[in-house]
Amino acid sequence: MIIQDRYIKADEGKVLRRKGTEEIFGEEIYLGYSYYINGVLQNPPHYDVPEDFEEIDKPIEETEETENGTGE
C-alpha cells in the first residue's frame, strides 16, 4: 500500500475498505472529510486518516468484470 499525504493506493489485486463499516472504496482514494459514513450524518464531519482504511483482496465479482470487460 502506498500512502502519500492524503492519498492512498492499494497494491496490485487489492482494494481499500473502511474498517468500521466494511465499505469498499476501490484501488485508490484521497482522504478528506466524510460527512456521511454508512448513511449516517457525521456531526461534526469525520476527518479521514489512513488508519481508517485497510487493504483487502479485490472481490471476485469485481475482478471478473474487469477481466471480461462487460461491466455487468
SS3 14: strand
Of the pLDDT bands very low, low, confident and very high (cuts 50, 70, 90), residue 66 is low
What is the 8-class DSSP label of residue 19? T
Q: Pull the grid cell for residue 20.
A: 468500521
Of the pLDDT bands very low, low, confident and very high (cuts 50, 70, 90), residue 60 is confident
Q: What is the pLDDT of residues 2-14, one digit of tens each?
A: 999 899 999 999 9
Which structural domain range is residue 7 located in?
A: 2-68
Question: Do residues 15 and 53 make contact, with C-beta atoms less than 8 angstroms apart?
Answer: no
Flag whether pLDDT at 71 surpasses 60.
no
State the Cα–Cα distance between residues 43 and 31, nearest whole angstrom.
18
Per the structure, the count of domains in the chain is: 1
Q: What is the pLDDT of residues 26-41, one digit of tens each?
A: 999 999 999 999 999 9
Question: Do residues 8 and 31 make contact, with C-beta atoms less than 8 angstroms apart?
Answer: yes
